[in-house]
Amino acid sequence: MHYTASPELIDTFSVFVAPEIEDDQIDLIRAALVIARTEYPNLDIEAYAARVEQLARRVAALVPDPNPRLALPALNRVLFEGMKLRGNREDYYNPRNSFLNDVLDRGVGIPITLSIVYMEVARRVGFSLSGVGMPGHFLLKYYEDGRERLIDCFNHGDILTRQDCQSRLDEIYSGEMALRPEFLHPISRRQILTRMLNNLKTVYLSTRNFRKALPIADLILVIFPRSAEDAKQRALLRYSMGLNRLAAEDLEEFLRISPDASDAEEIRFSRWSGGMERKLRTAVVTMRWRSGGSCRIWP
C-alpha cells in the first residue's frame, strides 16, 4: 500500500498500532500524539507523555487504591479543578481540539480527546475505564457493584444515566435519534483512535482542506489496512488533489478487498472501458463521506 504521508509518520504510528500489538496494550497517549504530528511534525512525544505520567502521580498521591469512590473525585480534582480541563464549546470544530498536545497546553478539547486524557491517567493509577462510542458524544464507562456508570468528560466528569444520554442525543440530533443499547457498548482502543482520526478528517473536509485530510486518511488505513470503505474514501481525496494514479490504485485495492460491493461492478466497468478518470470524477461528485456529507463530527 502506498501512503502519501511521510514514511517517518507512518512508521512511528505503526509502532503503536501494528496488528501484532494486543488492543489493550496500545498506548493511546503516544498514538494520539503521533496523530498530532500531522500538524506539528517536530512534536516531542515523550515530553507530553511525561506530563500525563505526572498527572497520574498527582492523582495517585490522593488515593490509596483505585476504588472508584476514591479515584473519581481525585481524577476530577486533578484534571478538572487543577488543570482546568474543559469542553471547548466556543470553538468546537477547531482542529486543535483533536491534537492531544494542544488539549494539554490549552486545557480545552472535545469529548474524545478529554476522555483519552482522563482514561489514560486513570489507567496509570490502576482504575480501568472503557471508551463508549455514543454518536455525537464520546463517553467513558466503568462498573461499580455490577452497575454501569457513564462519565462525561466534556462536562467536568458528570455521571450520566441512560436518560441523560438520550437528552444528549436529543440536543445533538434535534430529537430524531433514539438511544439504542449498542450506542453504549465499549469500543476498542483502535476504534477510539479511528474515531479521533475520522473527526479530524471531517473537520478538514468541511473546509475542503484536502491536503490536511489526506495524511489523516493514511493513518486510518494504518490501523485498518483492509477497510474497503476507507480505501475508497482515500481514492476520492487523492483524485481531488490530482493524484489520479494513486486514486486508481486505491480503487483497485477497494475491489480486491470488497469484490461484491454494491458499486464494484460500476468501478470494474469504468476500468475496463478506459473510463477510470471519469469514474473517479463521478465518485467525487456523488459519494457521501462517512459523516453523512455534513461537517458533523462524532467526538
Q: Quick count: other Cβ atoms within 10 Å of Cβ 288?
A: 8
The confidence score (pLDDT) of residue 128 equals 95
Rounded mean pLDDT of 244-261? 87
122-146, pLDDT tens digit by residue?
Answer: 999 999 999 999 999 999 999 998 8
44-70, pLDDT tens digit by residue?
Answer: 999 999 999 999 999 999 998 888 889
Q: How far apart, in whole angstroms, are the C-alpha atoms of residue 166 and residue 189?
A: 24
Q: Is 155 exposed, middle or buried (0-12, 13-18, 19+ CB in 10 A)?
A: middle
The confidence score (pLDDT) of residue 213 equals 97
pLDDT over 90 (residue 287): no
pTM for this predicted structure: 0.90
N- to C-terminal Cα separation, the chain: 29
Give the 3-state secondary structure of residue 187. Answer: strand
Q: What value does the mean pLDDT of the chain take? A: 90
Q: Where along the chain do its domains lie?
A: 7-187, 226-299
Contact between 212 and 98 under an 8 Å Cβ cutoff? The reply is no
Q: Worst-scoring range by mean pLDDT, 151-155, 176-180, 203-207, 243-247? A: 243-247
73-123, pLDDT tens digit by residue?
Answer: 999 999 999 999 999 999 999 999 999 999 999 999 999 999 999 999 999
Q: Quick count: other Cβ atoms within 10 Å of Cβ 137?
A: 22
CATH class, 7-187 region: alpha beta
The grid cell for 191 is 476504534
> Per-residue confidence at 185, pLDDT binned at 50, 70, 90?
very high
Contact between 121 and 75 under an 8 Å Cβ cutoff? The reply is yes
Q: How far apart, in whole angstroms, are the C-alpha atoms of residue 215 and residue 197?
A: 10
User: What DSSP assignment string belongs to 119-162?
Assistant: HHHHHHTT---EEE--TTS-EEEEEETTEEEEEEGGGTTEEE-H
> Per-residue confidence at 262, pLDDT binned at 50, 70, 90?
confident
